[in-house]
Amino acid sequence: MIITVTLNPAVDKILRISNFQTGTMNRAVVLKKYAGGKGINVSRALKSLSKDSLSLTILGGGAGKQIRDMASEEGLSLRYVKIAENSRTCMSIISETSETVINETGPAVTASEVADFKSLFTETVSAGDMIVISGSAAIGFGEDIFCDLILMARQQQATVILDTSGEPLKKALTASPHVIKINRDELMAISGKSPPSDDRILKELGKINKKGVFISIATDGDRAIHAASEGKLYTVMPPEVKAVNALGCGDSFTAGLALSLSEGKTTEEALISGACAGSASSMELGAGFLDKDKVDEFIGHITNPSEKKPGT
């Protein structure tokens, strides 16, 4: 089973505002409203790829009820801990010239709510499961939360794909997740280096592998995807598409990657599937929405990743 983890879910709204301006009143049209949060977005993309998953999360207040109900309407399976504070709402404002994202900080969870989520996680995860931990964590979880969940999953003999950033990422790496998927900026933040060449990116990914990570991946928008695994380095160019949306494309990449790995496919095949899912998602409005037929079409035409040994 693929299990996704979302520790700061949201009601996501996409608004269209003509001639958007600050310092004045703007009238908005709601283009889309759906259950959001990176792990939930991964589950949505998996559903579009004909793969059911289970999403573990926290929900509170009226916004939490909306998240639960909207996820259910999409056919997404949720198990959650009920928290006292209200879940957050996030907005993406689309105008003629730009897209502005406004994310609420979200609720603060109590120590007992953290303990309840850890109990839910332990009760749910079994040997052979693939766990996708994505995004940020609500206030109160602490910077060690992802490290803790990875160690718990490893005790259950489950595989973990991690997609987060900042100090929680640094701490989580000490628990050796099976896969990390980060972007170029996040890679530079944990390596302490300035924006590098492609060769430097691959070198830094290789260093992460030596810390016990089986596959380390760095994405860079619609540009090349770099990865390192078992002493091999890979570069994949995503399919060129007419993009209408950048929101959640990384979550769709993670979904395609997770699906392929869960099916026992090679690293190369998993990277291609992820790249194609991300590109297909960029053609749809909203996070984690994609057309499976487009993904299959892209996979049939994408070139294989370039592969080389370190130092070549």
Average pLDDT over residues 197-226: 85
Q: What angle do CA 38, 39, 42 make, to 5 degrees?
A: 90
Q: Identify the residue whose tokens are 């916004």.
A: 63
Are 14 and 99 a contacting pair, CB within 8 Å?
no
Q: CA 70, CA 66: separation in Å to the nearest integer?
A: 6
Q: CA 126, CA 104: separation in Å to the nearest integer?
A: 33
β-strand partners of 233:
228, 308
Q: Give 67's pLDDT tier (boundaries 50, 70, 90).
A: very high
The values of phi and psi at residue 243, to 5°, are -80, 140
Q: CA 312, CA 297: separation in Å to the nearest integer?
A: 32
Domain that holds residue 14: 2-308
Q: CA 43, CA 24: separation in Å to the nearest integer?
A: 38
Mean pLDDT of the residues in the chain: 90
| 104-129 pLDDT tens trace | 999 999 999 999 999 999 999 999 99
Residue 267 tokens, joined:
């690293």
Residue 176 tokens, joined:
């050796």
Comparing 20 with 306, which gets the higher pLDDT? 20
pLDDT above 50 (res 271): yes
Q: CA 297, CA 240: separation in Å to the nearest integer?
A: 12
Total domains present in the chain: 1
So what's the pLDDT on residue 303?
A: 60
Residue 200 tokens, joined:
């430097």
| 16-50 pLDDT tens trace | 888 887 788 888 888 899 999 999 999 999 999 99
> What's the CATH code of the domain at 74?
3.40.1190.20
